Structure 1
Amino acid sequence: MVAGAPAFSVCRDCHHVGSPGQRRCSACGSPRLAAHPELGGLQLAHLDCDAFYASIEKRDAPHLADKPVIVGGGTRGVVTTCCYIARIRGVRSAMPMFKALKLCPDAVVVRPAMEKYAAVGRQVRQMMRDLTPLVEPLSIDEAFMDLAGTERLHGEPSAVTLVKLASRVEREIGVSVSIGLSHNKFLAKMASDLEKPRGFSVIGRRDTHDFLKIRPITAIWGVGDAMAGKLRADGLTRIGQLQEMEEAELMRRYGVTGARLSRLSRGIDMRSVEPRGEAKSISAETTFSVDLYRMDELVPILRRLSEKVSARLKATDLAATGITLKLKSADFKLRTRQRKLADPTRLADRIFACGRALLENELDGTRFRLIGIGCAGFAPAATADPDDLVDAGFAKRAKAEAALDLLRNRFGEGAIETGFTYRATPPKSDPHRS
């Protein structure tokens, strides 16, 4: 359907298509109706799973259904995510665990199981791809969809297809999703946040200006704390203020960011949905029960984390083009250091060597409570780890690592150790992988 098509409503429970203006579904009586004057003319959607990790844990442990659940590390860790019951108590992602447990002392804390969450995320995205090839993942639990041109294929308006998708995900996978429908990616993503959980929100073309006018500037994607501070210093706190300014003035003040602010404040976003493979964020990190600062303490842990990252790369069709080292000090100050690789890699040996070199530059006596290592970019697996003419021992180490992988695949991850990790006894830690 296109702009100007007859208005309608669709029941989000029984999927009955009815006339607009109803308060309840004429077929089943449900008040959960999706209705908007432009409902038939919008095809760009953003789907976001609700409290994804916590929802999966509740699905797999039904006795947790009515309890506040926090997914994260131990008492020295941080909150990865939490359910809506815990959010009502004030718990938020990235909050130190001790603070979260003060706000919600009866919370059930569950360690992250990233492999399980990734598998469920792939199930959800496959259901999206069943409807359209134009699916652009943003993270493990959210993606854009462009349903333009699929109405004839499915025999129904895009909005009806999306309502049925939400029901299918909840019925077959056991987690709920919220969907935003609009005329561009920026607004579709904003819409998906409006009615969580189990939301279905629409921002039409005619709504755009007034909808954005009253929103805080921080609602614009990419306006973080630093940019928001600059804007506040200039007296700008609402998107409506940006709408009243000329683009040239915003560019004079904020450079290319000013042009972007001008366009988005008016709801202009020309980006298309770019289908691609799985969106990957491959990393591993751990939070220590006591602070560490010596190389001999940190190296075995870094090696173990490098092996985990390598294993996840080898399970995909991707290779790392750069390495990121992450450190968090005892006073919660975060350090991230990156290095681009000469050639893409999937080998733990190269990941670790790069991470170790970055770590050596950071050992200045600071005590750290967390260390992590991950990928700073990706390339196809076929481009990874060409022969190294400079490093004579590279081929030998690569063959040795392949042999280790075969043994671990056959006998389990702990079947064999390297010299760096054998009998290493670092303080008890809490693994978080993303």
Structure 2
Amino acid sequence: MPSLCRDCFHIADEAMASCARCGRRRIATHPELLTLSVAHVDCDAFYASVEKRDRPELLTRPVIVGGGKRGVVSACCYIARTRGVRSAMPMFKALAACPDAVVIRPDMAKYVYEARRIRALMEALTPLLQPLSIDEAVMDLKGTEALHGAPPAAVLARFAQAVEREIGVTVSVGLAANRLMAKLAAERDKPRGFAMIGAGEAAAWLAPQPVSLLPGIGPAMEKRLAAAGITRLGQLAVLDPKQAALRFGEDGPSLTARARGKDSRAVDPDRETRSVSAETTFNSDLRDPAALERPLWRLCEKLVRRLREKRLAAGGVVLKLKTADFRNRTRHARLPSPTLLPDTLFAAARALLAREADGRTAFRLIGIGAQPLADAADADRGDLADPTAPRRAAGWAAVEALRKRFGEDAIARGRALPTNPAPPKGPAALPPKTR
């Protein structure tokens, strides 16, 4: 059974307890070590790891990256995770679980910079690279052996070491025959993991696992499966496609195939962005519809900027609300034609908001997304239903140009202004002199 030393990259034909070349014990052994080529790479607690790298005194401290007591956990280190802290957990719950945690506000510019450095190292390995998030990607290294002079497993071990030395954070690597199993392998022994699941063992490895392990099975589907007496993936895997479709709808056959470790998705470097969004958490819960509309307008402006950066337009609007008791509400409206105008997005989202904000329900978060997406070139061309769209688009472009030159606050719509603005300071605050 072939083995790979993850420190010196020596490959042996037999299993090793320690490396015959360097003596170290970080050994990866697998029957398909030399043939598996699909890799899932996930940075370990990325935001928190970057902060610990920059502040070594925090190395042994629990670290939470997040915003304020009203916000949520963006990321947390593994020490904090042992105390029960999880990503997306409300901050007040995280601090109750880990009161001695060091809380750091997210520095997205820094994280994006480091993620791009890691991405550059990935791009040197294979052109078949598909980013999944800022700190996660899938790669297919099939056919790269001649280029690198080594099988994919050794190339990935070198990559992980390069990230650790050059960037100062660690990654976990999952290697398998398809994307699904590579992702599950990457989660097996984090942090600093390197796990393999072969094509021949996938079904047997999955069979005893709870159904919740499978990506795409959320709490609702887990309850539905449990009601049918299915709690393990092996129970789901034995259903034939007809049975699966009858019991679980059109997604049933795909569900049972994935429960057997099957996944036909290719690594696609040109995969399109499915949605673009923006959201904000309030300092205190809001009930008043007018009070909710002000942050909604600002989010519409932010969403348009994000769409422009990606050369995309909104073909529809998704409104997201989170109640004071952390229940999510999502509403969707299709637009007559693609747009990059915040007032068009706001009008559609405002109508959705009016159906949810009755003055009685308190909300802690509001967000807006664009879905489906369209090409920016098709936005706001104008038609009989909206002949003024091109003129308004030109006006908005002028507003953005002024903001870029003179600052974000150079021009603001009245609906974006606070209802009780702070009184002016300095000479302007003094009453006029009387003669």
Question: So what's the TM-score if we normalise by structure 1?
Answer: 0.89
Change (3 A) 1:107 1:380: same
What SS does structure 2 have at the residue aligned with 1:34?
A: strand
Instruction: Tell me which moved more, 128-137 or 95-104.
Output: 128-137
- Alignment partner, residue 311 of structure 2: 317
Deviation at 1:229, TM superposition (A): 0.9
Paired residues in the alignment total 421
Deviations 1:246-280 (A, max 9, x none): 44333332233331232122222222222226757
What SS does structure 2 have at the residue aligned with 1:41?
A: coil
1:380 to 2:375 alignment: yes
- Alignment partner, residue 161 of structure 1: 155
Deviation at 1:146, TM superposition (A): 1.0
What SS does structure 1 have at the residue aligned with 2:332?
A: strand
Partner Cα separation in structure 2 for residue 334 and residue 183 of structure 1: 36
Partner Cα separation in structure 1 for residue 406 and residue 165 of structure 2: 37
Deviations 1:145-198 (A, max 9, x none): 111111112221111111112122222233221111111111111101001011
Change (3 A) 1:8 1:206: same
Q: Matches of residues 422-433 of structure 1 in structure 2 within 5 Å?
A: 422-423=417-418
Name the amino acid aligned to 1:390. A
Change (3 A) 1:351 1:172: farther
Partner Cα separation in structure 2 for residue 292 and residue 248 of structure 1: 48
Deviations 1:219-241 (A, max 9, x none): 12211111111211222111222
Task: Report if aligned partners of 1:181, 1:192 keep a CA contact under 8 Å in 2.
Answer: yes
Deviations 1:46-81 (A, max 9, x none): 111111222233233333332212222321222222
Query: Residue 262 of structure 1 is aligned with which of 256, 262, 283?
Result: 256
Q: Matches of residues 291-370 of structure 1 in structure 2 within 5 Å?
A: 291-365=285-359, 366-370=361-365
1:61 to 2:37 alignment: no
Change (3 A) 1:410 1:16: farther
Change (3 A) 1:378 1:62: farther
- Alignment partner, residue 30 of structure 1: 24
1:420 to 2:397 alignment: no
Task: Report if aligned partners of 1:150, 1:158 keep a CA contact under 8 Å in 2.
Answer: yes
Task: Report if aligned partners of 1:138, 1:279 keep a CA contact under 8 Å in 2.
Answer: no
Change (3 A) 1:92 1:271: same
- Alignment partner, residue 3 of structure 1: none
- Alignment partner, residue 248 of structure 1: 242
Deviation at 1:115, TM superposition (A): 4.4
- Alignment partner, residue 141 of structure 2: 147
Partner Cα separation in structure 2 for residue 207 and residue 285 of structure 1: 42
Deviations 1:127-151 (A, max 9, x none): 2222212122222222211111111
Change (3 A) 1:33 1:408: farther
- The higher relative CO (CA closer than 8 Å, separation ≥ 6) is in 1
Partner Cα separation in structure 2 for residue 339 and residue 117 of structure 1: 33
Q: Matches of residues 179-198 of structure 1 in structure 2 within 5 Å?
A: 179-198=173-192
Deviation at 1:40, TM superposition (A): 0.7
What SS does structure 1 have at the residue aligned with 2:189?
A: coil
Deviation at 1:333, TM superposition (A): 1.6
- Alignment partner, residue 76 of structure 2: 82
Task: Report if aligned partners of 1:137, 1:278 keep a CA contact under 8 Å in 2.
Answer: no
Name the amino acid aligned to 1:363. A
Deviation at 1:8, TM superposition (A): 3.1
Deviations 1:297-345 (A, max 9, x none): 1222111122222222222232222221111112222111112223333
What SS does structure 2 have at the residue aligned with 1:399?
A: helix
Deviation at 1:124, TM superposition (A): 2.8
What SS does structure 1 have at the residue aligned with 2:356?
A: coil
Name the amino acid aligned to 1:208. A
- Alignment partner, residue 225 of structure 2: 231
- Alignment partner, residue 210 of structure 2: 216
Q: Which structure has the greater CA radius of gyration?
A: 2
Change (3 A) 1:69 1:194: same
Partner Cα separation in structure 1 for residue 369 and residue 244 of structure 2: 36
Change (3 A) 1:220 1:214: same
Instruction: Tell me which moved more, 222-231 or 396-405.
Output: 396-405
- Alignment partner, residue 430 of structure 1: none
Partner Cα separation in structure 1 for residue 276 and residue 241 of structure 2: 38
Change (3 A) 1:360 1:246: closer
Partner Cα separation in structure 1 for residue 391 and residue 375 of structure 2: 23
Identical positions, percent: 53
Q: Matches of residues 257-296 of structure 1 in structure 2 within 5 Å?
A: 257-276=251-270, 279=273, 282-296=276-290
1:402 to 2:397 alignment: yes
Deviation at 1:90, TM superposition (A): 0.5
What SS does structure 2 have at the residue aligned with 1:361?
A: helix
Task: Report if aligned partners of 2:276, 2:371 keep a CA contact under 8 Å in 1.
Answer: no
What SS does structure 2 have at the residue aligned with 1:374?
A: strand
Change (3 A) 1:321 1:114: farther
Deviation at 1:392, TM superposition (A): 4.5
Partner Cα separation in structure 2 for residue 106 and residue 281 of structure 1: 37
- Alignment partner, residue 99 of structure 1: 93
What SS does structure 1 have at the residue aligned with 2:415?
A: coil
Query: Residue 42 of structure 1 is aligned with which of 30, 33, 36?
Result: 36
Question: So what's the TM-score if we normalise by structure 2?
Answer: 0.89
Partner Cα separation in structure 2 for residue 402 and residue 226 of structure 1: 44
Deviation at 1:389, TM superposition (A): 4.4
Task: Report if aligned partners of 1:139, 1:280 keep a CA contact under 8 Å in 2.
Answer: no
Query: Residue 366 of structure 2 is aligned with which of 371, 375, 379?
Result: 371
Task: Report if aligned partners of 2:380, 2:390 keep a CA contact under 8 Å in 1.
Answer: no
Partner Cα separation in structure 1 for residue 10 and residue 255 of structure 2: 40
1:390 to 2:390 alignment: no
Partner Cα separation in structure 2 for residue 306 and residue 285 of structure 1: 10
Instruction: Tell me which moved more, 341-350 or 99-108.
Output: 341-350
Change (3 A) 1:65 1:344: farther
- Alignment partner, residue 4 of structure 1: none
Please tell me the root mean square deviation across aligned C-alpha atoms, in Å.
2.3
Partner Cα separation in structure 1 for residue 10 and residue 26 of structure 2: 11
Instruction: Tell me which moved more, 122-131 or 360-369.
Output: 122-131
